[in-house]
């Protein structure tokens, strides 16, 4: 009887993307004894598409990259690297934390890009950019949001010399001596405005809503013990009540789509972290 000779590149699960979600997924699967191959450039979105000097919007607990034994948290990284930083988490520290996590948990990441995936006889055939292929029983897509920047229609066709998306930049100092208009009122827009203003660059913000919203204004609501636990999850995404609901994803997914969509938007609508507010006091906002 002829047995098919499995090549060592055949795996149970191929993961496309090596950012926090891809790395975390791989770590959980490996812990269950699943054969995993991860493809991508670890933490490249955070490294290449966010401006130097930025801070994470998420709180401390929500900034850990999850692992099954809770041994690879930001606190473990700080202790291991001998570093001291706190919330809000600086971008550079988060990038280095992700790279540390990858080296500890998924050292076998293949730093190659996936060019295509095909269904082949009940398996998946993963084609890599260098021409190699890997067969896999399952595929997890963890490619992140870098390919999906949204620009208003009004800017279509205008040259990159004049109109860019915030995710096009890792260094905003290139704008010295120019007048910059930022369209948007979420964290990316407001943090970019803060960084530009700190470099003495003339900057103005236009938000397509009635007012700029700020996250974290009601600190006292987080200091009420059990009542606060009922209002907010540890990950603190969304306002009181909604934060607690979206902190239970297995319950949230049971809700009808007609409820999920408005709740999701309310939890992650455009807003900035309140600590930025004083730094933006002299930035014109419309």
In a domain, 278, yes or no: no
| 178, part of any domain | yes
Q: Does residue 82 have a pLDDT over 70?
A: yes
From start to end of the chain, where are the E strands? Answer: 11-16, 36-39, 114-120, 123-128, 133-141, 179-183, 202-206, 214-215, 272-273
Closest CA to 270 of 143, 167, 183: 183
Q: State the first-to-last Cα distance of the chain, in angstroms, to the nearest integer.
A: 75
pLDDT over threshold 50, residue 81: yes
In a domain, residue 3? The reply is: no
* Residues 15 and 29 both lie in one domain: yes
Cα separation of 282 and 108, whole Å? Answer: 48
Q: Assess whether 133 and 30 both reside in one domain.
A: yes
Confidence (pLDDT) at 180? 97
- pLDDT of residue 241 exceeding 60, the answer is yes
Q: How many domains does the chain contain in total?
A: 3
pLDDT tens by residue, 28-46: 999 999 999 999 999 999 9
Same domain, 94 and 187: no
Identify whether residues 67 and 132 lie together within a single domain.
yes
CB distance 202 to 283 below 8 Å: no
Has residue 6 been placed in a domain? no
The answer as to whether 243 is a domain residue is: yes
Question: Do 167 and 197 reside in the same domain of the chain?
Answer: yes
d(C-alpha 252, C-alpha 264), whole Å: 10
CATH number where 100 lies: 3.50.50.60
Q: 135 and 25 in one domain?
A: yes
Q: Are 204 and 220 within one domain?
A: no
Of 172, 191, 212, the position where a domain reaches its end is: 212
Give a yes or no: residue 19 inside a domain.
Answer: yes
- Annotate 255-276 with DSSP letters as a single string: S-HHHHHHHHHHHH-S-EEGGG
pLDDT of residue 147: 84
68 and 110 fall within a common domain: yes
pLDDT band per the 50, 70, 90 thresholds, residue 229: confident
Same domain (yes/no): 50, 122: yes
Contact criterion met (CB below 8 Å) for 231 and 221? yes
Last residue of a domain, one of 212, 230, 253: 212
Query: Do the strands 133-141 and 179-183 form a parallel or antiparallel pair, or are they unpaired?
Result: unpaired
Q: Is the same domain home to 129 and 115?
A: yes
Place 5 in a pLDDT band, splitting at 50, 70 and 90: very low
Do residues 76 and 17 share a domain? Answer: yes
254 belongs to a structural domain: yes
pLDDT for 121 equals 84
Look up residue 145 and give its two tokens: 């949001």
Do both 104 and 127 map to the same domain? yes
Instruction: State which residues form the domain around 249.
Output: 216-268
């Amino acid at each position: 009887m002829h047995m098919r000779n499995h090549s060592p590149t055949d795996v149970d699960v191929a993961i496309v993307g090596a950012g926090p979600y891809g790395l975390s997924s791989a770590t959980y699967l490996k812990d269950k004894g699943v054969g995993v191959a991860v493809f991508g450039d670890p933490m490249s979105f955070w490294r290449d598409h966010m401006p130097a000097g930025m801070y994470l919007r998420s709180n401390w607990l929500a900034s850990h990259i999850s692992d099954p034994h809770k041994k690879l948290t930001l606190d473990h990284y700080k202790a291991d690297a001998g570093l001291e930083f706190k919330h809000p988490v600086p971008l550079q520290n988060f990038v280095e934390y992700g790279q540390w996590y990858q080296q500890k948990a998924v050292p076998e990441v293949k730093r190659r890009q996936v060019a295509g995936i095909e269904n082949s006889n009940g398996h998946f055939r993963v084609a890599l950019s260098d021409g190699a292929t890997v067969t896999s029983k399952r595929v997890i897509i963890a490619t992140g949001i870098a390919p999906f920047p949204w620009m208003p229609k009004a800017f279509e066709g205008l040259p990159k010399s004049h109109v860019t998306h915030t995710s096009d930049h890792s260094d905003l100092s290139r704008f010295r001596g120019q007048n910059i208009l930022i369209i948007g009122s979420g964290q990316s827009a407001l943090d970019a405005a803060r960084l530009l203003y700190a470099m003495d660059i003339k900057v103005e913000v236009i938000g397509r809503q009635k007012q700029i919203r700020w996250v974290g204004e009601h600190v006292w609501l987080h200091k009420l013990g059990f009542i606060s636990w009922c209002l907010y999850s540890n990950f603190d995404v969304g306002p009181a009540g909604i934060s607690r609901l979206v902190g239970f994803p297995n319950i949230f997914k049971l809700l009808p789509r007609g409820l999920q969509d408005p709740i999701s938007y309310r939890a992650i609508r455009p807003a900035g972290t309140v600590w930025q507010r004083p730094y933006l006091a002299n930035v014109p906002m419309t």
